[in-house]
Structures are given as C-alpha cells and as structure tokens.
Amino acid sequence: MRRAVCPGSFDPITNGHLDIIGRASKLYDVVHVAVMINKSKQGLFTVEERLDLIREVTAEYGNIEIEAFHGLLVDFCKQRDIPAIVKGLRAVSDFDYELQMAQMNIGLSGVETLFVPTNPTYSFLSSSLVKEVATWGGDVAHLVPPQVLSALTDRLPKP
C-alpha cells in the first residue's frame, strides 16, 4: 500500500487544499489528511468541525483517511508507516518555509516531502484570506466547496 499524508490546519478546507488532496489521491493508494492541532491558535472551526467538513468534501475520492493529530507530523507518519508528505506550493513565497520544514522532517525521520504546484486558479488562496473576505461579506463561493460556504455563512456574523 503506497501511503502519503496531506497535513494542515484546514480552518477551513478550501478548493486549493482539495485540489492537492485530489491529485495526491490519484498518485497514492491511501492519502491521510492530518488536521494538525495547534493549541496556541484559536480556530474559527473546532477540530471536529474541520474533520467533518473534510470528510464530506473528500468522500467522492474513496481513498482518503482523515484524522486530527497533536504532535510532530513525522510522528504521525512513523506511527502509520507513511513515507511521504504531499504539500502544495502556491508561489515562491511558500518555498522558503516549506523547504525548511521538508529538510527538518527528512532529517528527523527520513520522511520525504513532495511538492505539487498549486493550480494557478488557487495560487493566492488561503484559509485565512477566505475567512477575512467572508467576514466582511465578500463572495468566496468560488474558493471553497459548497459545504464549507454554508458552514462559513452559519458561523460568521452578518456584516
């Protein structure tokens, strides 16, 4: 079984994340989506809500396993025998930090990181921007799956 992980905060999952997960799901037998818990960051959605949204929007792929994890990504990988991390690269600005993490992760445990170029349609997209635009009533319908749009509409106060 060839396994990979797509890690992130996913607060909430966007079409950019979904594009990377969908492409990884064609390359690997099983793709683990790991919602990494960062206790110092207050999310808009609870970890359970994020997991539920990811579960709903990835259901059609058929080979996705979704879990939350508190700790190092390499420990998540080691415990599940996952040799590869798949990450999207949106722009050169992502590269510096992603390269540092990839080098740290391979040094810590031998887990490889594979970078997938983001679909240019989503090269500017992040969960933070989606939340900011949606908070002020901007249209994000083309940036997130419909289930996420509906969750954002329910969660955010009307501007």
Q: Is 9 in the site for ligand PNS (CB under 6 A)?
A: yes
Q: Is 15 in the site for ligand PNS (CB under 6 A)?
A: no
41 labelled catalytic: yes
User: Torsion over CA of 6, 26, 2 and 108, rounded to 10 degrees?
Assistant: -30
153: Cβ contacts below 8 Å, ≥ 6 apart: 134
Active-site hit among 32, 50, 87, 90: 90
Q: Is 72 in the site for ligand PNS (CB under 6 A)?
A: yes
Per CB under 6 A, the segment of 49-57, 100-108, 113-121, 130-138 that binds ligand PNS is: 100-108
Q: Is 88 in the site for ligand PNS (CB under 6 A)?
A: no
Whole-number Cα distances in Å, 41 to 32, 53, 71, 105: 22, 19, 14, 22
Number of H helices, E strands in the chain: 6, 5
Q: How far apart are CA 72 and CA 77, in angstroms?
A: 9
Q: Is 129 in the site for ligand PNS (CB under 6 A)?
A: no
Q: Is 156 in the site for ligand PNS (CB under 6 A)?
A: no
- The only residue of 8, 12, 88, 145 in contact with ligand PNS, by rule CB under 6 A: 8
